[in-house]
Every structure is written in C-alpha cells, then in structure tokens.
Amino acid sequence: MNINTKFICNIFAIVLVFTAITFANDNLQSAQNSKKYTDECIKCHSENDMMPEHFSENDIHLQNGLSCAGCHGGLSTSADEEIAMSKKNGFVGVPTKKEIPNFCGKCHSDISKMQVFQARISTDQVSQYYISKHGMQLKIGNKDVATCIDCHTSHSILPASDTRSTVYAANIPNTCNNCHGNSDLMNKYNLKSNQVEEYSKGVHGIALLEKHDNSAPACNDCHGNHGAAPPGVKSISHICGSCHVNNMNFFNNSNMAEPFAGLEIKACEQCHGNHLIAKPSDEMLNVKTSTTCTECHDKGEDGYIASEMFYEKLTQLSELYDSTKAMSEKIAIIGMNNIEIEYELKNVKQALIQSRTLVHTFDTSKVVGRTNEGVLASLNALKLADHEIEEHDNRRIGYGISTLILILLAGALYLKIKGLNT
C-alpha cells in the first residue's frame, strides 16, 4: 500500500469516527429532550399572546415545578386544546372569587404537601381567613373583599423574604392600601381611606418605610395576616404589648385598667392613637400644652395632679441627664478621666427610660421613686466631674509654677555663665 492510499484510509477513518460520535450525541440529546417536561399551557398561551397579566417566571410555584394544571387542572402535556382543557382531565379553569380561598387551600391546607417545602410550615391560612372580616364577607357573597390573590397576586407570587414580593415587610402598607386607600370603595362601608397616609407619618411608618427597619410593625403585625380583623377593646393592649411588654403589664395592673374596660375605651389607642402614632415625649404629660391627660381629667382631679407631677419629675431628670452628659464630654475633651462619670450617666439614662415606662402604672410614688434614683446618680456624676475639673485646674497651676521655676533657674544659670565669661 503506497503512502497516498494510507493517507486516504486515515482520513476516511477519522471522518467515520467523527460521524459516529456526532450521531451518538444527537441520539443522546434527543433522549434527554424527550424526558424534559414541556408545559403546553405556557407554550400555547405565549404563542397566542394570551399570558396572564403580570405573569412572572420567578413565581415561586413555577420555580418549584408546579405547572398551570397544578392549579387550573387539565392536561398540560397535551398540545390539543380540547384534550388539555377537558373536564375529563380535571380542567377547572379560572375560579370565581368565592372559590379562591379553597382553590389555594387545596395545597396550602394540606400538611403532607406543604411539608415537602418547609418542615414547620403553617397550613391554617384558609381557616384563619374565614374568621376574618374579609372571609366572613366573602361567604355572604361580597365580591369587594380581598382574597389570596389580591394580596399575593396570581401568577407572580414571591416569598415574603423577597424584596419584590407584595407581602415583603416594607411593601405590605402599599399592598393593603390598594383596597384600603380606595376612597370610593371604603365609603361604601363607612371606613376611612387614609390609614396608610397616617401610618407613614407615624413612628412605626417612619421606622419601616424611611429607616428601612423591617422589625417595625406594618398593618399585618397589628391586624393579623390571613385572620385580619380590627383590634377590639379586649385585644388592643395585647397587640401593642407584643412589642411594648412592660407598658402593657404596668397598665393592666394599674387602677386605670378596670375603668377603661368598663367604658370600652381602647387602652393604648386612647392616648397614643392608632395609625398616626407620634413618638412619645414628656410633653404629652404637660397639662398646659397637651390634651392627652386633660381630655379626661379636669384641674384639681387626681389624674390632673399626677400628670403635673410626672411631667415635673421627668423634665427635671431629663435636664439633669443632658447637663451631666455635656459635663462628661467636657471632661473627656480636657483629657481627664470620665469612666466613672459615664457609668453613672448610664444609670441616669436607665432611670429616665424606666421612669417614662412607669408612667403606665399611673402610680406617682413609683415614678417619683425611680426619678429620684436617677437624680441621685446624676448628682454623683456631677460631683465626680467637679473633682476632675478641680484636679485639672490644680495640675495646670502646678505645671505653671514648675514652668516658672524652670525659667528662673534657666535665667539664673544663664547669668552665672555670663558672669564667669566676663
């Protein structure tokens, strides 16, 4: 066999091997593709520009392998419309508004299905919903109320931890406002429509929406999620108390709790408001400028006198704290030791915080007792500061005298040396 023949045979062998590999790879790819699931619902609706509004490929159900048929029924593997959407294959189509809670509940109320995704997931959302105002109204046929999809959307549902989600902490006020900010809708039920506007100006709204503190309460933290209902007289203090524990305990054990309950006055809300909650201040107790206490208590009454005393003692301690803090900063600037002063300053701050909380006991002896402890700590701190300033002044005098003596010695030495040289 000559060289040309060998060369041709080698080329032929290479082509043959390459062809075999390509053919085998195509067969493997075809086999893999045949195993891949094609959702004919999405394919058909996409091709015909009939996809649901706001559909998102990031939808948590789609991401976890739940097909259109998982909710709407039918056969999503068939390209034949009649087969795919036949009742024989379980097709239910778009549910009515009244059907939506149980429609979602097919999975979300089934612990065996939901535990696949989270071991400790809640499955009582639907039962909670039906005891809410929304759920009760839906049962009697009211189509204005919110259902699952009004809050979570239909085809772009994202986890609550996702910042794009309609139920992400910072997005909840706007989600609720879609309905509760609609004045035409709210007027039908004699409800206000400015709750979110008020909330955004309050201490909680500013913390959540402006300072991005997701631990701050939103609508659902007070009204509930699926069992949403306006807090009643009996529950309002417990709702506020889930964060403000000491305030709740002090009030519930005070001599004001029983009269409030008897008159059906909402405990915390009566003084602090509900949606437009201003940051509390000592000025709320000032009977000359605030109506917080004088709305119920006339001059000379026990409540009026107590408010005057609370304001006087808290103002005194607050001013002492500010002056002590300024003195501590001065000590640090002049380079003296302010460690013990700072320790006492912390005691003053703690006394001020606790005294303000003790106002909810409505017991003057407790507030006066704690503020007096703070005053004593402040006076101790100021005494320490005076000692440091005195020590600083003494050192300056000592340094001055030492410097003067050194100058005199240097001068005398200079004169002595000069005298020796003459």
What is the rounded distance in angstroms from the CA atom of residue 405 to the CA atom of residue 414?
14
Tens digit of each residue's pLDDT, the chain (422 residues): 555 566 566 666 666 655 655 555 554 444 444 334 578 888 888 888 888 888 999 999 999 888 888 899 888 888 888 888 888 888 988 999 999 999 999 999 999 999 988 888 899 999 999 999 999 999 999 999 999 999 999 999 999 999 999 999 999 999 999 999 999 999 999 999 999 999 999 999 999 999 999 999 999 999 999 998 877 767 777 899 999 999 999 999 999 999 998 888 888 999 999 999 999 999 999 999 988 999 999 999 999 999 999 999 999 999 999 999 999 999 999 999 999 999 999 999 999 999 999 999 999 999 999 999 999 999 999 999 999 999 988 888 888 888 988 998 888 888 888 777 76
Please give the pLDDT value at position 290.
87
Please give the pLDDT value at position 30.
43
C-alpha distances in Å from residue 373, one per residue of 126, 139, 247, 319: 53, 59, 20, 15
Q: State the distance between the two ends of the chain, measured CA to CA, in whole angstroms.
A: 125
Please give the pLDDT value at position 415.
84
Please give the pLDDT value at position 28.
43
Please give the pLDDT value at position 69.
87
| SS3 of residue 213 by DSSP | coil
HSE-CB of 314 using CA atoms within 13 angstroms: 24
Please give the pLDDT value at position 182.
97
Name the pTM for this structure: 0.79
Please give the pLDDT value at position 140.
96
What are the b/e assignments for 259-271, b being 16+ CB within 10 Å?
A: ebeeeeebbbbeb
Task: Write down the H helix ranges in 334-363.
Answer: 339-358
Please give the pLDDT value at position 229.
83
What is the rounded distance in angstroms from the CA atom of residue 97 to the CA atom of residue 357?
47
